[in-house]
Amino acid sequence: MITVTQAHPNIALVKYWGKAPGPGNVPATPSLSITLDTLSTTTEVEDAARDTFVLDGALVADRKVEDCLARLRKRWDIPPLAIRSANNFPTAAGLASSASGFAALITAVDAHCALNMTAEERSDHARQASGSAARSVFGGFVALQGPHWHGETVLDAHEWPLRVVIAIAETERKAVSSSEGMRRSADTSPYYPAWIDTTRNDFVAALPLVRARDFAGLAELSESSCLKMHGLMLSSRPGLLYWNAATMTCMHRIRRMRLDGLPVFFTIDAGPQVKAVCLPEAEQTVVEALSSLEGVQRVLTAGIGQGARLLDSGGKP
């Protein structure tokens, strides 16, 4: 029997960058994200003679996947598994492929081996592999906060159907992984304590803005969280510079469109891609504007999507 699942990347509107000391891959601060719909990871699992992991058609040895299976096997009797995972978007280039990847993987192993985990338990296991993966288990607007540190939906996807226009500024894998980058920022940036102190307040302030569908308020807060995270990254030693020239061009263009009255804001993660979050009526203008900029290789669009879920063996939900 083959079990097939699908999960989507998410992008944080209040960012997570830094881990709490101790085990469990617990974030140092809460975060808030939106799960996307058109970008996806599809994962198949079946019994095998030994564990194998194939990512986008290539057999790979992935330490995080091995550790994730080892954690599950501490609690459950899980046979050797052949795992095949495929992304319909660039892997490890700041588009949260680890988030959708681990959300899809945990959901697949749970269903395949009939572990009967709750969504909260899947989110908890996904978080231990990749912090942001905890959020991709859920759909819509998702909060990740203590003391439990599993994701929870704040608004469902249909309750505020924002659009996201993604400008692909580079398709290479990123130079410094987020785990390594977070360690570096915590160890070396003089801004790290201020980041930790202020991010909790940003998270608390963002929740009512989302519930009230206050786009202007969320735009201001979310851009500020993004720029503050990149300020932290830049102030680490050696500095973490995830942007390229096209990233910067997109940011200026998006700022200009908002000043001109268009409901759009940007957010950027550990890679050069720019995600422009907008109201539906602004989407076409944003697509045209970003597509025409120098250095933008292509533009993808997405809406707000569902959490990780089981597909039937024909690949349908």
d(CA 133, CA 126): 5
Contacting ligand PMV (CB under 6 A), which of 100, 178, 225, 301?
A: 178
**How many residues touch ligand PMV (CB under 6 A)?**
15
- For ligand PMV, the closer of residues 3 and 10 by Cβ is 10
Q: Using CB atoms within 10 A of its CB, is residue 71 exposed (0-12), middle (13-18) or buried (19+)?
A: middle
Phi, psi dihedral angles at 278 (to 5 degrees): -145, 165
**C-alpha closest to that of 144 among 75, 153, 95, 260:** 153
Contact between 247 and ligand PMV per CB under 6 A? no
Q: Closer to ligand PMV at the Cβ: 19 or 255?
A: 19
45 phi-psi bin (left φ>0, alpha ψ -120 to 50, beta other): beta
Site string for ligand PMV, 84-123 (x = CB under 6 A): ------------x-xx------------------------
Q: Which residue type, as a one-letter code, is found at position 146?
A: G
Min dist CB 270 to ligand PMV, Å, is 4
Task: For residue 139, give Cα distances in angstroms to 218, 248, 256, 301, 306.
Answer: 19, 30, 31, 17, 4
Among 16, 53, 265, 266, binds ligand PMV (CB under 6 A): 16
Shortest Cβ 137–ligand PMV spacing (Å): 13
Residue 202 engages ligand PMV in binding (rule: CB under 6 A):
no
Q: Between 181 and 257, whose beta carbon lies closer to ligand PMV?
A: 181
Regarding 15 and contact with ligand PMV (CB under 6 A), the answer is yes
Q: Which of 8, 34, 9, 12 is nearest to 224 (CA)?
A: 12
Applying CB under 6 A, the residues found at the interface with ligand PMV are 12, 15-17, 31, 96, 98-99, 130-132, 178-179, 269-270
